[in-house]
Amino acid sequence: MAKCKYCGAEISRLDKDICPFCGKTKPLDGVDSSTQDMTKAFETLKEMGVEPRQKSKIVAAILAFILGVFGVHNYYLGKYKIGLITLGITLVSVGGIGSILYFALMHNIFAYLIPYFVMEFLMILVGVSLLVRNDISDVNGDFLK
């Protein structure tokens, strides 16, 4: 907050015409009441010469092949919300559809493996698309190398 040049009381910038404490006019004239841009005080990573590393297509595809049902490939790319959505879909489909199959048809533990392998097959397709497509980017907007 700025201070009145007459009485030294802290006043807001809205009281620039009359000081509410001493009643004098123009209490901020001649007082440095400008604000500073704090973003200018910090250097960006690019100005410091630090470049973020580009994510790899191959690593993302391998993660999708192996741990894709848990959304790990999305976490690698920095897309945490999509990773959590993938994990949620896996849990709901394996738990829900597996339970329906277990209680309605199969009555053995393999009923839960059917929706898991369906999700795994879909993640293999996602991994292949990560390898084939060139327009996939990470959370920073950088394309995969």
Do 128 and 70 fall into the same domain? yes
- Compute CA distances 69 → 100, 101, 106, whole Å: 20, 20, 23
Q: Which residue has the tokens 């199959």?
A: 101
CA distance 1 to 11: 6
* Per-residue tokens: 91: 């849990």
Report, as an integer, the average pLDDT of 42-48.
Answer: 66
Asked whether residue 49 is domain-assigned, the answer is no
Asked whether residue 27 is domain-assigned, the answer is yes
Residue-wise pLDDT tens digits, 104-122: 988 888 899 999 999 999 9
Q: Check whether 39 has a pLDDT greater than 70.
A: no
Predicted local distance difference test score (pLDDT) of residue 44: 66
Asked whether residue 44 is domain-assigned, the answer is no
Asked whether residue 116 is domain-assigned, the answer is yes
What is the extent of the structural domain holding 22? Answer: 1-38
Do 117 and 69 fall into the same domain? yes
Do 65 and 34 fall into the same domain? no
This model's pTM is above 0.75: no
